[in-house]
Amino acid sequence: MTDRLVTANLSLSLDGRYNGPGGAYDLAAIIPYATTDVARDHLTRLHENATTAVLGRLNAEGFLGFWPSVADNDEADPRDRGYATWLRDSEKVVFSTTLTEAPWQRTRLVNAPVVDVITELKSADGGEILVNSSASIIKPLLAADLLDRLYLMITPEISGGGQRLFDDGVPATKWIVAHQETGKLGELAMVYDRVR
């Protein structure tokens, strides 16, 4: 039996929100920092040991609209191309109650409890399991204490509204800083490992 690491990445505003008051697509406090060197190096770091990408439906559809063309774009930053190629070629698990066809090759659609699916993935062979910018999956994993590493980009803006990653009621846990880096715009790339 293997015990694969379960990792997750998410970008948050200074007030801990992964979107703004305008809803799921209000990323005004996040987008200006997404293409900095610190952000791109962070992107490389988070996927380098992962062999499985886990996404919610919204992110799977959004990523599909952007990343496939980056993989073959000679003009794109090599770090972006590396991530896009990894995303295209890796095993993908997409949580959805509405999709009937997988949006990408090498994709398995699941309509089952997050904790059950991730527990099953942990026991299978492979590298790290990366929950890719999908708070709807990260939250139940935090609640079940199934995350081993968090990759967080913290942007120096206060959204003033929107959804938070760390809701009240999440069990108390302890984490250590495994990596930290500050960019020229004030963005922070943070890697936290769970202390067990």
Over residues 32-64, the pLDDT tens digits come to: 999 999 999 999 999 999 999 999 999 898 888
Greater confidence (14 vs 3) lies with 14
Asked whether the predicted pLDDT for residue 14 surpasses 70, the reply is yes
**Same fold flag, 1-50+139-183+192-196 and 51-126:** yes
Asked whether the predicted pLDDT for residue 10 surpasses 50, the reply is yes
Asked whether the predicted pLDDT for residue 2 surpasses 80, the reply is no
Asked whether the predicted pLDDT for residue 1 surpasses 50, the reply is no
Mean pLDDT of 192-196: 97
pTM attached to this predicted model = 0.94
- Distance from C-alpha of 166 to C-alpha of 119, rounded to nearest angstrom: 21
Judge: domain 51-126, CATH 3.40.430.10: yes
- The per-residue pLDDT for 102 is 85
Q: Where are the domains of the chain?
A: 1-50+139-183+192-196, 51-126
With a pLDDT cut of 70, the percent of the chain lying above it is 99
CATH topology of domain 1-50+139-183+192-196: Dihydrofolate Reductase, subunit A (3.40.430)
Greater confidence (150 vs 102) lies with 150
Over residues 158-187, the pLDDT tens digits come to: 999 999 999 899 999 999 999 999 999 999
* Three-state secondary structure of the chain: CCCCCEEEEEEEECCCECCECCECCCCCCCHHHCCCHHHHHHHHHHHCCEEEEEEEHHHHHHHHCCHHHHHCCCCCCHHHHHHHHHHHHCEEEEECCCCCCCCCCCEEEECCCHHHHHHHHHCCCCCEEEEECCHHHHHHHHHCCCCCEEEEEEECCCCCCCCECCCCCCCCCCEEEEEEEECCCCCEEEEEEECC
Over residues 87-142, the pLDDT tens digits come to: 999 999 999 999 888 878 899 999 999 999 999 999 999 999 999 999 999 999 99
Across the chain, what does the average pLDDT equal? Answer: 95
